DNA sequence: TTACGATTTAACCATTTGATTAAACCATCT
DNA sequence: AGATGGTTTAATCAAATGGTTAAATCGTAA
């Protein structure tokens, strides 16, 4: 058994693949570009991951659950609702600031017919839907319907995720540089809780 | 001069290209698929549009302004603010219901380095930014800063557009079929104005 | 009808790109 | 040292894909 190199090659490849797939999606990514970024011969990608699909899946299997976890972390604590929402935006936007390509990666992956991914949702642990049902039941006191809840959840995600998808467009319209945009997102952590909390029906 | 066929071939090609590029983006689209969908030999695409880039641009040049128009139509009337917002969501969501692939198309186009598109923004008529500045000046009475306004505008777009980008994900989490989703968006036309109007600082 | 130019097609070309192979490399063990 | 087996590379392949070309087709006008 050979001792692994200082920087495990397999992981270097995965990291490079993550980088490239996140930015360009499956169709836009090139095996050669991934190899170059990993500083490694192209044949090594196949040696470790067999083919492009499998390499992509390796990336997807670590990124998708991370995103789901971020999307559902709001249901994991027992804080008062207002605190929960506030915490959610703070944490979620921070996560997106440091992983700003993930939303595009997820959206573009699911847009293409990369199925067998509904599969991953069911296997997700914790299951988003289970968490959401539980949360919903707890809110029954205020007579919130399932549809109200879905709308609320859609709002939550829309407000936090969309600005990272539309950054190229928005930054251009308003002539914002990266720093401007960063500070816009920073302020958003405070603005969004206020906005969303107002929208909740008082019990 | 030849009389155009019953169904102008050039337009049939453009329509097919629109369909395919909208669903799959530039990288995912295949010239052969476009030709097949148009019911036409592949060489004809090159005859009319020279190469893939130019064909893509032909699509982009009609889709992008349509989306910008939809995004800025809110600034074009002189209704009271509440009416304006309500009208915007109604119209914008209806537009998205009938053009549900446009948001993904725009996002994926701008994500790839398809530059020279900042160019298109400036040439856009009416210019989004000019309209927005004008609107902003009118609101000065309530002391709204430019940053407040950008946040507001981001909210407006996030809430209406994101659900169409994330449909594959959301529909899976909540096990919604197309009809369910449609009715969800329908109700959104009423829910969103209430939500956003509450967020506006009273003068 | 014939000639002409615009339109359309089938066949082909060149490049890109994902994938394979055979050989080289190198650390460890005997 | 020499054998062994995992790792890496250079060279090559085959399929996919964007693009080209030369000939066929078709409507129109002379």
**CATH no. for residue B29?**
1.10.10.60
Nearest residue to B21 via CA among B84, B116, B112, B151 = B112
Q: Is residue B12 part of a domain?
A: yes
Which pLDDT score is estimated for B58? 96
Query: Residue closest to C26, CA→C1'?
Result: A2
Same domain for A138 and A99:
yes
What pLDDT score was predicted for residue B2? 44
What tens digit of pLDDT does each residue of A110-153 get? 998 666 666 777 777 677 777 877 776 776 666 788 899 899 99
Q: Which residue in A23, A104, A170 is closest to B154 by CB distance? A: A170
Shared-domain flag, residues B160 and B102 = yes
Predicted confidence at residue A131, as pLDDT, reads 80
Whether residue B59 is contained in a domain is answered as no
Token pair for B148: 């407040």
- Across the interface, of B23, B110, B147, the residue whose CB is closest to A169 is B110
Q: What is the pLDDT of residue A179?
A: 97
Indicate yes or no: strand D within 7 A of the C-beta of A154.
no
Residues A102 and A12 occupy one common structural domain: no
Residue A90 included in any domain: yes
Considering just the CA atoms, what is the radius of gyration of chain B in Å? Answer: 20
In chain B, what residues touch A25 (CB-CB under 8 Å)?
25, 27-28, 108
Secondary structure element (H or E) that encloses residue A10, with its range: helix A9-28
Average pLDDT estimate for B177-188: 97
Cα Rg of chain A, angstroms = 20
* Residue A33 belongs to domain spanning: 1-50
B28, B17 contact by CB (below 8 A): no
* B115 alpha carbon, distance to own chain's centre: 18
pLDDT at B128: 78
Q: Is residue A18 domain-shared with residue A74, that is, in the same domain?
A: no
Predicted confidence at residue A7, as pLDDT, reads 66
User: Looking at the structure, do residues A69 and A42 belong to the same domain, yes or no?
Assistant: no
Mind telling me how many Å the CA of A24 is from chain B's nearest CA?
7
Which nucleotides of strand D are protein-proximal, with an atom < 7 A from a CB?
5-11, 17-22, 26-29
One domain for residues B72 and B134: yes
Of A6-15, A134-143, B121-130, B165-174, give the range with the top mean pLDDT: B165-174
Which residues in B lie closer than 8 A to residue A187 (C-beta atoms)? 147, 151
Weakest mean pLDDT among A48-52, B76-80, B100-104, B197-201: B197-201
Report CA dihedral (A183, A187, A189, A190) to the nearest 10 degrees. Answer: 160
User: CB–CB of A158 and B154 under 8 A?
Assistant: no
**B42 contact to strand C (CB, 7 A limit):** yes
Per-residue pLDDT tens digits for B135-175: 767 766 667 888 998 999 999 999 999 999 999 999 999 99
Whether residue B35 sits in one domain with residue B99: no
What confidence category does residue A2 fall into, taking pLDDT thresholds of 50, 70 and 90? Answer: very low
Residue A81 has pLDDT above 90, yes or no: no
Residues A99 and A6 in one domain: no
For residues B69 and B44, membership in a common domain is answered with no
pLDDT of residue A202: 54
B134 and B184: one domain?
Answer: yes
**Could you tell me if B194 and B123 lie in one domain?**
yes
Nearest amino-acid residue to D10, taking CA and C1' = A41
Query: Do B168 and A106 touch, CB atoms closer than 8 A?
Result: no
Predicted local distance difference test score (pLDDT) of residue A53: 95
> Smallest CA–CA separation between B158 and chain A, in Å?
5
Q: Using CA coordinates, name the residue in chain B closest to A127.
A: B173
Is the C-beta atom of A173 closer than 7 angstroms to strand C?
Answer: no
**B44 and B86 within one domain:** no
Write the CB contacts of A38 (distance below 8 Å, at least 6 apart in sequence). Answer: A9, A12, A13, A15, A16, A17, A44, A45
Q: Kindly report the average pLDDT of chain A as a whole number.
A: 89
Higher model confidence: residue B49 or residue A145? B49
The answer to whether residue B55 is domain-embedded is no
Supply the pLDDT for residue A169.
93
Whether residue A23 contacts residue A106, with contact meaning beta carbons closer than 8 Å, is answered with no
Classify the phi-psi angles of A175: left when phi > 0, otherwise alpha if psi is within -120 to 50, otherwise beta.
Answer: left
Chain A positions touching B112 (Cβ under 8 A) are 24, 28
- pLDDT reported for residue A121: 72
Q: What does the alpha-carbon distance between residue A71 and residue A78 come to, in Å, rounded to a whole number?
A: 16
Across the range B27-33, mean pLDDT stands at 98
CB-defined contacts A:B, below 8 A: 126
Secondary structure of residue A203 in the 3-state scheme: coil
Q: What is the mean pLDDT of chain B?
A: 89
Q: Does residue B153 lie in a domain region?
A: yes
Q: Give me the number of domains chain B comprises.
A: 2
Three-state DSSP string of chain B: CCCCCCCCHHHHHHHHHHHHHHHHHHHHCCHHHHHHHHCCCHHHHHHHHCCHHHHHHHHHHHHHHHHHHHHHHHHCCCCCHHHHHHHHHHHHHHHHHHCCCHHHHHHHHHHCCCCCHHHHHHHCCCCHHHHHHHHHHHHHHHCCCHHHHHHHHHHHHHHHHHHHHCHHHHHHHCCCCHHHHHHHHHHHHHHHHHHHHHCCCCC
Residue A6 lies in a domain: yes
> How far away is chain A from the Cα of B13, in angstroms, using its nearest Cα?
22
> How many Å from the CA of A17 to C1' of C15?
24
- Ranking A28-32, A154-158, A198-202 by mean pLDDT, the lowest is A198-202
Q: Which of B30, B92, B102, B111 to mutate to test the interface with A (most CBs of A within 10 A)?
A: B111
A51-82 burial, b for 16+ CB within 10 Å, e for fewer? ebeebbbbbbeebbeebbebbbbbbeeeeeee
Tell me if B16 is assigned to some domain.
yes
Q: What pLDDT, on the 0 to 100 scale, is given for residue A164?
A: 98
Question: In this structure, how many other beta carbons lie within 10 angstroms of the beta carbon of residue B111?
Answer: 22
Q: Which of A155, A170, A201 should be substituted to probe chain B, the one whose Cβ sees the most B Cβ atoms within 10 Å?
A: A155
- Nearest nucleotide to the CA of A49, by C1', is C19
| CB of B52 within 7 Å of some strand D atom | yes
Contacting residues for B73 by C-beta, under 8 A, at least 6 apart: B88, B91, B92
- Structural domain includes residue B92: yes
Q: Is the pLDDT of residue B197 over 60?
A: yes
- Is the peptide bond between B126 and the residue preceding it cis, with omega within 30 degrees of 0? yes
Mean pLDDT of A35-56: 97
- Is strand D within 7 Å of residue A198 (CB)? no
Q: Is the CB of B42 under 7 A from strand D?
A: yes
């Amino acid at each position: 058994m050979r001792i692994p190199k200082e920087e495990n090659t397999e992981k270097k490849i995965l990291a490079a693949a993550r980088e490239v797939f996140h930015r360009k999606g499956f169709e836009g990514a090139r095996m050669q570009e991934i190899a170059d970024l990993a500083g490694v011969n192209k044949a090594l990608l196949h040696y470790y991951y067999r083919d492009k699909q499998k390499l992509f899946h390796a990336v997807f299997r670590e990124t998708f659950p991370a995103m789901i976890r971020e999307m559902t972390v709001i249901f994991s604590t027992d804080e008062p609702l207002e605190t929960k929402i506030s915490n959610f935006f703070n944490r979620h936007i921070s996560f997106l600031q440091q992983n700003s390509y993930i939303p595009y990666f997820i959206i573009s992956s699911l847009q293409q017919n990369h199925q067998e991914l509904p599969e991953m949702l069911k296997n997700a642990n914790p299951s988003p839907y289970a968490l959401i049902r539980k949360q919903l039941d707890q809110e029954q006191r205020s007579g919130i319907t399932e549809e109200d809840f879905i709308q609320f959840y859609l709002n939550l995600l829309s407000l936090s995720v969309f600005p990272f998808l539309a950054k190229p467009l928005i930054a251009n319209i308003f002539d914002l540089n990266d720093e401007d945009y960063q500070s816009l997102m920073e302020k958003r952590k405070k603005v969004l809780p206020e906005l969303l909390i107002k929208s909740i029906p008082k019990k």
